[in-house]
Structure 1
């Protein structure tokens, strides 16, 4: 059941996201062409501001989900009711506080944006658009506890279907609006409608799925607040790490460089999101497993680690070869793509993929206190190296700094904590095996570079065909290596589940 639910969670996240990403490629192109750099920059500014405002939740959603694992496993209705009632009050207060602070910020948002000469953007327009975006972004906080119940109960696929359906609908309507000359106000009103509608549906679905739970229990449990001081550090670290690159680039190199950076970022970010669905789909199952059988949890960790490197191998090797060609076809003549940018962005994607098991087990085991130094180190290293390297080698310097910060703060610390405190095992075999996986990726990348001139990437169709051929060739080689070396154990779980499902049919 645990594996089946994880698969449902993944499928309802992954496949709709592919469609959303494809639609987004057209939407991003229309935004750049129809709205122009200024309005596109305004949208980025609003997103960054809301990211900073969201720090107020302190990562409480993760804390709530972690606290719900055990009572849900034990069917402790009273405890669940107390937690969700306490959580609901907290998130209502957080939403209200974000709204009030956001309204205050709206009076100054005009001064945060550097306008071009001759700009027609007015103070009133910026405040109006920001307020609509603010309200739209605060609405989902009203149903955080409802979503958390589904996620902690390994039924995230329920909320996935609602949220992804509205995402697809929103993306399609946004394209129609952009093609017909509408701007940010209309797009943000659409966002507000979708967030209100999806929140209402999730609210009633949770009431129907959990009729025994009292969302307004008098005995409210606020124990998740005990994790705030540690989760807040993680929240700040994640926020700074994600936003610091674009901010430094904009300040040091100028806003004209940001669209070039964004073109690469859009591709890798969406791939990160797709692959990250694997993590989110199994986290609740891991939390349940850690509460019951740590020995089996260690076996699953090794399976997930093998799976993460397998995915990194089959995705990152062909991507580094074809990402420049895709941007040249997608945004012809706008950017001067180069190998340095391709390698740097794919390196970030690579690290994101291979750390999936670390992220999953850190969250599922509630190791928020033990890993609180990681985001602090990451921010310090990232900021210091970015400011240094950007003045030496330009844009790639920021990306290299980010990658080094990830390694120093995360990859050299979290495995030791997880292996020692969760599994009581030695960590060196983990690093030794991973080095072999990395060597395979390097060999494959260097090998395929030599055959790249034989492929045609002059148009969408030729790019797609050539990319598919490279992907298939790489997949066959990687799968064969993993199978022969006995590292494809994660496949057994998938095949067994498929057999059970076919047998039932």
Structure 2
């Protein structure tokens, strides 16, 4: 958004001119306040009925339901914050603050991918809810599978790119001393892929109005993350912390959200979902391994490697996806959308 771009620009300028981290953080707080004021005034002007007084009161049962849903959402939000902070706390406690700085460089790459891709899911959230209210269950199920396939493809590509390119990118960017092991790059890539699936499942679940059914799952996930991270960091250092996060996600988010969605929305077993997504993961491991091998075969290091490896990752990942899935309903559905938008763009500019 405009505010996000403006925030980033001001933060960069503040660091370059003043070099003050407190000012850097304060800018985000100030920009968020300004953004909220702008949104509130814009909403008041576009929807003046918001400020109209209503004589009717909400029924007790309805009010109780709203409060329950708000409580469930609160648990999700607060645990997201805790989950993000846990890794840094464990790292700084067991390894030291310096490793947190190195970890942040990799996290910046992952966060950039995630921030861009999250916009897609935030944009379709309302459309999914409307689809659930108006379409037949079969159509809703098809759209679920299409978005799941799309998520696997896009976050799969991002994960393959992260695994293949991240270490060399860090080396070119800030130097070899900030580069971690290839195992760590693999774990960061897996974590990014899991984040993508979690975002998709969370978006679909909330669009279906399923708030309370999994409200304690984030709490359990945070507790498991702390336990696993503390245990594994003592054996695998920073890689152990990422392993802990991955394990906590697999034991909570990654199996329970599909279970809830299939049970309450599709009225069927989630077995098909689990099998399909295990297959997608295996395909992405194949794409990652092949891309890494071919990239190292052509060029070993430097800026050239970053460019060549990025191109190879895209070609190999999408090439494997095309060969394996070009005849599926999900692939054809996405290609039809691409063709429609391509035709519209041609009509507008040609």
- Is the TM-score greater than 0.5? yes
Matched, 1:214 2:50: yes
Any conservation in 1 of the 2:157–2:313 contact (CA below 8 Å)? Answer: no
Residues 1:429 and 2:272 are matched in the alignment: yes
- Name the residue aligned to 2:11: 174
Cα 1:435–1:190 change in 2 (3 A) is: closer
- TM-score of the aligned structures, taking structure 2 as reference length: 0.87
SS at structure 1 position matched to 2:268:
coil
Q: Choose from 262, 284, 291 the match for 1:448.
A: 291
Instruction: Determine if contact 1:328/1:337 at 8 Å carries over to the other structure.
Output: no
8 A Cα contact 2:160 2:287, kept in partner: yes
Greater mean alpha carbon deviation, residues 224-233 or residues 276-285: 224-233
Matches within 5 A, 1:113-262: 164-184=1-21, 186-188=23-25, 190-191=27-28, 193-211=30-48, 213-219=49-55, 223=63, 224-262=66-104
* Residue 263 (1) aligns with residue 77 (2): no
Query: What is the aligned counterpart of 2:165 among 312, 319, 322?
Result: 322
Aligned partners of 1:373 and 1:381: how far apart in 2?
13
Does the 8 A contact of 2:295 with 2:312 survive in 1?
no
8 Å CA contact 1:230–1:369 kept in 2: the answer is yes
d(CA) in 1 for partners of 2:33, 2:9: 18
Q: Does the 8 Å contact 1:325/1:457 carry over to 2?
A: no
Counting matched residue pairs gives 341
Label 1:216 to 1:251 Cα distance change in 2 as closer, same or farther (>3 A): farther
Q: Distance in 2 between matches of 1:496 and 1:436?
A: 29
Deviation (angstroms), 1:238: 1.9
Note the alpha carbon deviations across 1:447-502, whole angstroms, 9 max, x for none: 23322323446444652344224323432332333214554132323433554676
**2:191: which partner in 1?**
348
CA RMSD of aligned residues (A): 2.5
CA distance in 2, matches of 1:404, 1:186: 37
Distance 1:406 1:279 in 2: 20
**CA–CA separation in structure 2 for the residues paired with 1:379 and 1:190:** 29
Instruction: Verify the 8 A CA contact 2:170 2:176 in the aligned structure 1.
Output: no
Over 3 Å counting, the alpha-carbon distance change for 1:422 and 1:460 in structure 2 is: same
**Corresponding residue of 1:313:** 156
Asked whether 1:339 is paired with 2:182, we answer yes
Q: 1:291 is matched with which residue?
A: 133
Structure 1 residue 496 and structure 2 residue 314: aligned?
A: no
Paired residue secondary structure (1:464):
helix
Cα pair distance change 1:205/1:415, threshold 3 Å: same
Distance in 1 (alpha carbons) for counterparts of 2:200 and 2:25: 36
How far apart in 2 are the matches of 1:398 and 1:492? 42
**How far 1:259 sits from its partner (Å)?**
0.6
Q: Secondary structure at the match of 1:217?
A: coil
Specify the alignment match of 2:244 in structure 1.
401
Tell me what 1:304 maps to. Answer: 147
Q: TM-score, normalised by structure 1?
A: 0.62
Work out the CA distance in 1 between the residues paired with 2:17 and 2:253: 46
Indicate yes or no: 2:108 matched with 1:272.
no
More helix by share: 2
Q: In 2 relative to 1, CA 214–297 (structure 1 residues): closer, same or farther, beyond 3 Å? A: same
> Residue 214 of structure 1: CA displacement?
2.6
Alignment partner, residue 4 of structure 1: none
Task: Confirm or deny: 8 A CA contact 2:262 2:270 kept in the other structure.
Answer: yes
- Evaluate the alpha carbon distance shift between residue 185 and residue 247 of structure 1 in structure 2; reply closer, same or farther with a 3 A threshold: closer
2:213 counterpart SS class: coil
Q: Note closer, same or farther for the CA distance 1:415–1:403 as it changes in structure 2 (3 Å cut).
A: same
The structure-2 alpha-carbon separation of the partners of 1:294 and 1:391, relative to structure 1 and needing over 3 Å to count, comes to farther
CA distance in 1, matches of 2:33, 2:219: 36
Separation (CA, whole Å) in 2 of partners of 1:193 and 1:355 = 30
Rounded Cα–Cα distance in structure 2 between residues aligned with 1:368 and 1:321: 37
Instruction: Work out the CA distance in 1 between the residues paired with 2:141 and 2:19.
Output: 53
Match status 1:390 vs 2:233: yes
